Each structure stands twice: as structure tokens, then as C-alpha cells.
Structure 1
């Protein structure tokens, strides 16, 4: 096998090599131990399988400039961060070599190794942030190039209590930040009353789409104003200048588990450029200077989604 020359040294034990047009490696699988020195410490890419739920070798990815992009690690490594040394089994980097994201665990979920196995192995992290000290098991942490935390993704079983522009809130799924450390978005763990340009609305998404902490239903601008949210507990009555009245409410759809069971679909509300927009529809945009709005309680009749049908 041809010895592969890289900026990290010569690699002789590898397979499944893919190259960029420049000739630099794009991806490969290591078959021998190889140490890579990074700005956050030395890491050893995975080169053999173990009994930790990882039954296949996973590739390591590189940028076309030769820098490491993404690497599953053979063993957990302690990564140097502004928040201390954090254990990681998968690391990702920006093109210039700075740390982008780390995953404390990187097992292979399969019929024999599932989410509960990973969660059991996961350890609590303690992170001191402007929104408060977070103690929880996390799936991953994303960083800005300056080393500050950009977002945190929590395990589904976890909730944390943090200080947001709307007050102290219980949060699930994740939380994201602006570069100054202020909260950009959260996923409320329960209905929470927030002040908006429409009035006070109970923010809550019973089925959040995001699986990463950088995408959440309740978002704020850099000054702390609500820019978007989901609600299963509030309706909005819009009165236009022409006298038309329109009501926007959460809706219902058939459950995946039973055609006889209806589930609640959240009402999505955004505030783009002095307007209120409902359900991401351009035809449902209303200018604050031309319309009046009233928030009313939505009487919930349907259930929350369930994906474990019994």
C-alpha cells in the first residue's frame, strides 16, 4: 500500500481512501494507530472496533487544505476548551483547524445498541455559562471560533434550568447562544408565558423538529426580543384595516399510532420586519401598523404525539 503523505505525517495503515481534486485526502479509514496533533490536543482516530456499541470502522474526513475536518476517536480524549478539559469520542473542526463540535459519546445505534445504552454511559457535564451553570448529560457541544459555546444538544431524557430573556425557564432538547453569550434560542420543556409583540403567549412545541441544540422553536434577537415561537396553548385573532377577522390556532392531525386519535400540531409564529407571520406562510403575514391582534386561550382537545405505539 502506498504511504500517504499528509500535513500530520505519513500514514501507512489505511483503507477506503478518497481524495480531493488537489490530491489531499478527503476521507479514509485508519487501520493502524495514528496520532494527530490539533490545537486542542492530540487525538487518535478510530482504527479498530470494540465492545462499546461500535461495530464498524468509521471514516475520518479532511478539508481540501489538508486540515482535519471530522474524526471518530479510538478512545475518549480530553479536549482543551475554555470550559476545561471535556471528554470526547468524536470531534469536528473548522477549516482553519479550530474546534467546531465535540460529542462525548459516539457509539453505533443498532438493534443491539440503542439510545438507552448510550444515555446510560453518558456522564453529567458541568458548564458555567452566562445563562447559569448547566449540569446535564449532553449529546454534543458546538463552539464559535473564539472558543465560546455556540449550542448544546441535550439527551432527550434531560432538562435544564437556564436564565433566558423571558425569565428562568426549564429547557429540553437544547439551547443556542450569540457570540456575546446571550441566549439565542431554547426549547421550552413545558408551556411558558413569554411577552411578544402580539401579547403574552404560551410558548411550547409538543413535537420539536430539531435534533440539534442550535435549532429551537423559541428564538430571541440579540436584544432579547422574541423573534419566533411555537404554541399549542394560544390562539391569535387578527383584525385587519378592512374589518376582516381571522383566527389562527394550533391544529390537529391523525396520530401515527391510531386513526382514531388526533394529536395537536403547534401554531408557528414569526416576527419578520414589523409583521406577524403564521405557520411560515407569506399569505398569512400581517403588518403591525395596519392590524390589531388579540391572544386568546386555545382549548386543547387533542393529545401530544407518541411514537411508541402500544
Structure 2
């Protein structure tokens, strides 16, 4: 065992691993002895000791180069004061000047002995009363702006909520993000959703979406509620000029497990002023004032892609 002297937090005992920045200042450490450290939310005990079926073994504390605390994984869950009230948390990250950046109600490791389903069963639903809707859901993490305003929610896989978007009520999976004033910034559709765009209705859905965090999602809006971008499997884009007409639609690509099967690759469409950007293997940019661009709804690519559930996540 060794000790680590932190200029802003005092002495840590039982340090089994430490990492430093180029200037020698502490960056992260792991512990195998109980310590008590002062944090912006009170005195807390960082995670220490060997891993168990659920308990992680690894980094206990992270620091900014300034020496301020960046994150702490806790030995036991605590009831912490957050901008949403008092909530049970097992891991907290901070902005450099001390405000809560993100917290995790649970922080167990997922392995052969402790499954995602086991962890999910421990999760407790949290009640939210937002400008875009009221709901209760189990969340993996909650992110805040420095002001304390809610920035994003990352939902547990399998959780579904319904909220009001600029396109009406939408079903959401994985999560959502908000602007600081509480308006919707982005969300992940749980089902193919019809979205109004400058070129007509496009069916938004991303079969490759994941729930790592919900800071960015496949349907996004600007601060005024105007659509910025979306991802689609079920729509194509017709581009017409005086000389030609092209149809751009999601590419069919070989499956990663079964290369004999083909699956539609989600296509990202972005809007900025009078420009539309279509991103596939290549990026196509068109001026809506100079070119006739229209959305076309395809046959249901989601249904046509089904039949090999081990390879896709079309159904969420």
C-alpha cells in the first residue's frame, strides 16, 4: 500500500494505482483502504477494495489538472442533494468549479456474474416534471448544466417515455437532451416517428442507436424548435434539377454476422438555413433554393430487415 498527498484534499491511504498528468499532478487513483474525502456534496467514502459480483474494482477518484475533483465512485450509495432534489447515487462527476455535472444512481459492473437485468432490477424510478412532459423512469445517468438545469437523461434499455416535441407527442427510448431553458434539444425515437421537415415528412428511426449517454440523439432541434437533423431507415430523398433526377435512400449493407444477409444502413439528414446535407458513405449537400428536394416514404425497411434478431436492434 502507498499514500498519496493531494494539495486540496489531504492524504489518501491504501493507494493501489495512481495516474498523473504530464506535469506530475494527480489524474486518477484506485484504493484498497477506506478514506474520507471532502467533495462539493459533502464528505464521502470513495470505492475501495476488491471487486465482488456487482462491485467494480478500478478507478475510485479522478481529478482535473487543477487538482479539483472530477469524479468519485462511492463505496456505498448515498442520499445526495442534487438540482432535482435528494436522490440516491453511487457515482458523481463534477465540473471543474464544483457543480454537479453528471450522476449515476447505480454504478455496478456488468459481467458474467452480474447482468444488466440484475442491475436494472435495483434501479428505482425517478419522477420528472419537465416543460415537455411529466413521467417516471429508471435512468442510468442524469446530466446537468453548470446552472443546475437538466441537460440530459439516459434511460435504461427497455424504458419508454412519451413527451411533447415540436412534432407532437413522441415515444422515446435511450434518452433525451434539453436546452438550458428546458426546451427539447434531441431525443431517440422508440419507434419510427413521422417528423415534419423543410422537404416533407421523413420517418425518423436509428437502428444503430445506443444508450451510452443521451447528450446527443438522432432527432435534434435548434433553440427555436426548428429541426436540425434526423436519422432515417424508412425514407428516401428525391433531388431534381433541370438536367437530372436522383433518388437517395438508405444503403443496404451486409450483416456483420451473416454476410449473406443485407440490412438498411441508417441515413443522416441535416438542415442548416437553405442547405440540406445527406450523410451516408459520402456526404451530399444541396441548396434548397436552387434544387427541388422532396422526401419519399419507402416501404417499411424495418420490417423488411427483420428475420435475424441476433444482428440488429430495429425493434429496440
Normalising by structure 1, we get a TM-score of 0.91
Structure-2 residue corresponding to 1:287: 287
Distance (whole Å) between structure 2 residues aligned to residue 264 and residue 122 of structure 1:
34
Counterparts of 1:6-85 in structure 2, within 5 Å, are 6-49=7-50, 51=52, 53-54=54-55, 56-85=57-86
1:270 equivalent in alignment to 2:276: no
Distance (whole Å) between structure 1 residues aligned to residue 186 and residue 45 of structure 2:
34
Contact 1:44 1:73 in 2 (8 A): yes
Q: CA RMSD in A?
A: 2.2
Distance (whole Å) between structure 1 residues aligned to residue 281 and residue 271 of structure 2:
12
CA deviation after TM superposition for structure 1 residue 307, in Å:
3.5
Q: Which runs of 5+ in 2 are unaligned?
A: none
Q: Which of 299, 302, 305 pairs up with 1:303?
A: 305
SS in 2 for 1:250: coil
Q: Report Cα offsets for 1:64-121 as digits up to 9, x if no partner.
A: 2221111111011222122111211111111111111111111111122221121121
The verdict on how the C-alpha distance between 1:21 and 1:251 changes in structure 2, with shifts beyond 3 A counting, is closer
Distance (whole Å) between structure 1 residues aligned to residue 129 and residue 41 of structure 2:
19
The verdict on how the C-alpha distance between 1:210 and 1:277 changes in structure 2, with shifts beyond 3 A counting, is farther
The verdict on how the C-alpha distance between 1:299 and 1:28 changes in structure 2, with shifts beyond 3 A counting, is same
The verdict on how the C-alpha distance between 1:280 and 1:41 changes in structure 2, with shifts beyond 3 A counting, is farther
Structure-2 residue corresponding to 1:90: 91
The verdict on how the C-alpha distance between 1:41 and 1:213 changes in structure 2, with shifts beyond 3 A counting, is same
Normalising by structure 2, we get a TM-score of 0.90
CA deviation after TM superposition for structure 1 residue 257, in Å:
3.8
Contact 1:41 1:80 in 2 (8 A): no
Contact 1:48 1:57 in 2 (8 A): no
CA deviation after TM superposition for structure 1 residue 3, in Å:
5.6
Q: Which moved more, 1:11-20 or 1:162-171?
A: 11-20
CA deviation after TM superposition for structure 1 residue 129, in Å:
1.6
SS in 2 for 1:135: strand
SS in 2 for 1:120: helix
Structure-1 residue corresponding to 2:236: 235
SS in 2 for 1:58: coil
CA deviation after TM superposition for structure 1 residue 10, in Å:
2.4
CA deviation after TM superposition for structure 1 residue 286, in Å:
0.6
Structure-1 residue corresponding to 2:151: 150
Distance (whole Å) between structure 2 residues aligned to residue 91 and residue 250 of structure 1:
40
Structure-1 residue corresponding to 2:248: 248
SS in 2 for 1:284: strand
Q: Report Cα offsets for 1:120-154 as digits up to 9, x if no partner.
A: 21111112222112311111111100111111111
Q: Report Cα offsets for 1:179-207 as digits up to 9, x if no partner.
A: 11111000111111111111111111122
SS in 2 for 1:295: strand
Distance (whole Å) between structure 2 residues aligned to residue 230 and residue 55 of structure 1:
35
Distance (whole Å) between structure 2 residues aligned to residue 59 and residue 83 of structure 1:
25
Q: Size of the alignment, in residue pairs?
A: 308
CA deviation after TM superposition for structure 1 residue 244, in Å:
1.6
Contact 1:201 1:234 in 2 (8 A): yes
CA deviation after TM superposition for structure 1 residue 214, in Å:
0.9
